[in-house]
Amino acid sequence: MQLVPVLASNSVLNISDVTKYYGKFKALDSVSFSVDKGWVYGYLGPNGAGKTTTIRIMLGLLEPNRGEVQIGGVNPIKDPVQAFRSVGYASELPTLQTFFTAEQLLDFMGKMFRLSTQARKEKTWQLLNLVGLKEWGKRKIGTYSKGMVQRLSLALALINDPMVLIMDEPTIGMDPEAAVNFRNLFINLSKEGKTIFISSHLLDEVQRICTHVGMINKGKILFSGPIDQVLDAFTQKWVVEVELEKVSEKIVSSLKTLDSVGDVKVDGNRLMIELKEKKDVRGEISSEIFKQQGVLLSLNLRKITLEDAYLQALKGGQ
Amino acid sequence: MGALGRVCEALERVGVIAGYEWRRGIAKKSVLALVILAVAIQTLVIVSNYEFNRSSGIVPSGNAFMWISTVLEGGAQALFIPLIAIIVAGGSMSEEYEHGTADILLSKPISRIEYMFGKFMGGYSLLALVEALITVVSVGLSIGFFGAQSDLQFAPLMFLAIAYSSLIFFCLSFMFSEVFRGTTLAILLAFAMYIASLVMTPILSFLYGNVSRVVPTWAATGFPSFLLSRLITASNTVLPSADTEALYEAALIIAVYTVVFVAIAALRLLKSDVTKKTD
């Protein structure tokens, strides 16, 4: 099942029929999706799929050859001042101005959003505290580690208390503890009604925090919709993951004949057996493998993950 | 919000970026080094002049106008100001692309034109401050070493004339910075054009007379001198004489070059994507 992108009337981010060429290369091909208020939207795709190009078009840094982007009903190319008033952006592995201290940079960004001196001062230290950089606030950014720069980048994205947060790989380069803290922060921000758009490779992270997901490959949107719907759309919710010493065609064919099995996918010496319904059929499967003289190394029944759906979508191209 | 309110907001945004550009410029060690060198050389020129006069026992008639010759031709203004202008402007736009910081700045509530003018005004006002510093040092040292100076009321005007004339190479380098989006290339090209212009001016003047006036250095170096020779009527001035026509022509040439260079930079910024260095 392919989910049809719906351009909702109350959408905060609206990408409509956007096509972008780099020379003759078509980076985005009629990309359309929308993100409503309060959604945490995970934007997935392999390297070179068009994720960053989409984000750069949203930010008005690239102009599409066709189509339009609207943030809060405003085209950022035509009116960036209005469009970005309530937008926060954190880029992937950002390079920040190393001649500033974190305090100075946050203050400068606050000025760009016309915050008062008092508000800037309060917000600066509140955010530095939030991202765990309070002790580093008065040090030059040039002395920071990559993870610290990433954290500061998130603080910068929050300086204007944005209604829309656009983030490109926001937790990349962070230590696991910081990444968990930030995931919780995103969840809390979404509870406050903020809209969060996250481009990420970390499918587990997306599955944990996103309410909706969009997937892009080779410049085309494969699907866009609620995360549960996406999981349902690709396969049944349960799979048995099997590791064998050696996979043979005979084993695969025989497993496919079982009533409870929907499909069997081979990945090296691993089998991903999709079930037609939630049912513990591990005994049946292992018995079938033994019958075909297979050597079973491991066998797990689990709910399908976003990663499974993602990989299937990439392979299927649908 | 009314039109006036929008204009005020736009000016505020330009001001914020100009302030940012100041910090960026001051943080550049090469700029700081050049400024220190310029002030040191200016001081050295004046002290050398004084020592030469003292040891040779010559009492030159132009002592009261020493400030003019040091401000205009004392070495620092002539040599270092174009260099500082080229270096400050050469990295102004391009470094943001090279470092990836243009993304962060341009995804804020600011239009590209406001951003560019903020950068321009920040860099140019920093250059003007350096020029003011060198002028003040020159005037101060001239008074200190050569006694009371004549026609000092024109010193502020002289500073403005120097600031105006430095627009040409500042804008040229600024334009290259945006067009090529590479700092080294922008600085090298602007510097090469400055040297070529210096070399070509006398050659063109010898071969074709007034045609040489279209070369940028003619207007850039001549304008302050032309203006002051019009203002100061003392017979022993060290300034070359200049007619009104040359003065206006120099002013016009500077204005035309400035407008053309800034317009090209603006067109490039408005009409092209903000690409990442890795793209």
Asked whether residue A225 falls in the same domain as residue A273, the answer is: no
**Interchain CB contacts (distance < 8 Å): A and B:** 76
CATH code, domain carrying A58: 3.40.50.300
* Closest chain A CA to residue B269: A61
Asked whether residue A121 falls in the same domain as residue A193, the answer is: yes
State chain B's mean pLDDT as an integer: 86
Is residue A181 assigned to a domain?
yes
Taking phi over 0 as left and psi of -120 to 50 as alpha, with beta for the rest, A245 belongs to alpha
- The predicted pLDDT at position A1 comes to 41
Calculate the alpha carbon distances from B201 to B69, B193, B196, B231, B251 in Å.
Answer: 21, 12, 9, 25, 17
Contact residues, chain B, for A103 at CB < 8 Å:
none
Chain B: closest CA distance from residue A54 (Å):
13
What is the domain extent for residue B53? Answer: 3-271
Tell me the average pLDDT across A69-75: 94
Tell me the average pLDDT across B107-127: 96
- The predicted pLDDT at position A66 comes to 97
Is residue B276 assigned to a domain?
no
- The predicted pLDDT at position A4 comes to 42
- The predicted pLDDT at position B277 comes to 58
Asked whether residue A34 falls in the same domain as residue A109, the answer is: yes
Asked whether residue A244 falls in the same domain as residue A226, the answer is: no
Least confident of A130-134, A251-255, B120-124, B222-226: B222-226
> Each residue of B160-186: pLDDT tens digit?
999 999 999 999 999 999 999 999 999
Is residue A3 assigned to a domain?
no
Q: Which of B80, B94, B235 is nearest to B151 (CA)?
A: B235
Chain A: closest CA distance from residue B23 (Å):
8
Q: Is beta strand A164-168 parallel, antiparallel or unpaired with respect to A87-90? A: parallel
- The predicted pLDDT at position A234 comes to 60
Contact residues, chain A, for B12 at CB < 8 Å:
114
Q: Identify from B23, B26, B31, B108 which residue to disrupt to test chain A contact, counting A C-beta atoms within 10 A and taking the largest count.
A: B108
C-alpha span between A314 and B83 (Å, rounded): 55
Q: A163, A86 in Cβ contact below 8 A?
A: yes
For residue A154, is pLDDT > 50?
yes
Report phi then psi at A28, rounded to 5.
-130, 135
Contact residues, chain B, for A63 at CB < 8 Å:
273
What domain count does chain A have?
2
- The predicted pLDDT at position A306 comes to 76
Measure CB to CB from residue A91 to each of B9, B103, B111 and give the nearest one. B103
Asked whether residue A211 falls in the same domain as residue A295, the answer is: no
Looking at residue A89, what DSSP letter applies? E
For residue B279, is pLDDT > 80?
no
Residues of chain B whose beta carbon is less than 8 angstroms from a beta carbon of chain A are 9, 12-13, 16, 19-20, 23-24, 27, 99-101, 103-112, 273-276, 279
Chain B: closest CA distance from residue A6 (Å):
26
Taking phi over 0 as left and psi of -120 to 50 as alpha, with beta for the rest, A48 belongs to left
For residue A130, is pLDDT > 70?
yes
Longest distance between any two alpha carbons in chain A, whole Å: 76
- The predicted pLDDT at position B75 comes to 56
Is residue A74 assigned to a domain?
yes
Contact B110 A59 (CB under 8 A): no
Is residue B278 assigned to a domain?
no
Asked whether residue A295 falls in the same domain as residue A160, the answer is: no
**Residue A181 neighbours by CB under 8 Å, 6+ apart:** A132
Contact A109 B108 (CB under 8 A): yes
Contact B274 A80 (CB under 8 A): no
For residue B213, is pLDDT > 90?
no
Residue entry with tokens 């500061």: A152
Contact residues, chain B, for A21 at CB < 8 Å:
none
The DSSP result for B160-211, as a single string, is: HHHHHHTHHHHHHHHHHHHHH--HHHHHHHHHHHHHHHHHHHHHHHHHHGGG
Least confident of A8-12, A248-252, B140-144, B261-265: A8-12
Chain B: closest CA distance from residue A42 (Å):
20
For A140, the 3-state DSSP assignment is strand
Asked whether residue A174 falls in the same domain as residue A57, the answer is: yes
Looking at residue A202, what DSSP letter applies? -
Asked whether residue A153 falls in the same domain as residue A296, the answer is: no
- The predicted pLDDT at position A2 comes to 43
Element (H, E) at A107: helix A102-112
> Each residue of B53-80: pLDDT tens digit?
777 766 655 677 778 777 776 556 667 7
Measure CB to CB from residue A62 to each of B23, B100, B273 and give the nearest one. B273
Contact residues, chain A, for B19 at CB < 8 Å:
108, 111
Q: Which of B278, B214, B42 is nearest to B140 (CA)?
A: B42
What domain count does chain B have?
1
Tell me the average pLDDT across A174-192: 86
Contact B100 A82 (CB under 8 A): no
- The predicted pLDDT at position A237 comes to 67
Domain boundary among A217, A232, A247: A232
Position B137 confidence tier, pLDDT thresholds 50, 70, 90? confident
More confident position, A138 or B221? A138
Tell me the average pLDDT across A175-185: 85
> Each residue of B12-48: pLDDT tens digit?
999 999 999 999 988 888 888 888 888 888 888 888 8
- The predicted pLDDT at position B58 comes to 66
- The predicted pLDDT at position B238 comes to 54
For residue A305, is pLDDT > 90?
no
Looking at residue A70, what DSSP letter applies? E
Asked whether residue A122 falls in the same domain as residue A224, the answer is: yes
Asked whether residue A180 falls in the same domain as residue A57, the answer is: yes
Contact residues, chain B, for A104 at CB < 8 Å:
23
Chain B: closest CA distance from residue A113 (Å):
7
For residue B11, is pLDDT > 90?
yes
Tell me the average pLDDT across B224-230: 83
Contact A94 B273 (CB under 8 A): no
- The predicted pLDDT at position A9 comes to 56
Is residue A185 assigned to a domain?
yes
Residues of chain A whose beta carbon is less than 8 angstroms from a beta carbon of chain B are 22, 52, 56, 59-63, 80-85, 87, 89, 91, 94-97, 99-100, 104, 108-109, 111-114, 156
Contact B16 A112 (CB under 8 A): yes
Contact residues, chain B, for A56 at CB < 8 Å:
103, 273-274, 276
Is residue B257 assigned to a domain?
yes
Tokens of A211: 């309410």
Is residue A6 assigned to a domain?
no
Paired with A43 in beta bridges are A199, A214
- The predicted pLDDT at position A3 comes to 44
Asked whether residue A255 falls in the same domain as residue A113, the answer is: no
Measure CB to CB from residue B27 to each of A81, A91, A99 and give the nearest one. A99
Contact B273 A63 (CB under 8 A): yes
What is the domain extent for residue A176? Answer: 11-232
Please say whether the dihedral angle defined by the alpha carbons of residues A291, A294, A295 and A296, taken in this order, is positive or negative: negative
Contact B12 A114 (CB under 8 A): yes
Asked whether residue A182 falls in the same domain as residue A34, the answer is: yes
Contact A112 B110 (CB under 8 A): yes
Contact A87 B107 (CB under 8 A): yes
Is residue B277 assigned to a domain?
no
Domain boundary among A232, A263, A289: A232
* Closest chain A CA to residue B278: A52
Taking CA B275 as the corner, what is the angle to CA B271 and CA B279, rounded to the nearest 5 degrees? 140
For residue A139, is pLDDT > 50?
yes
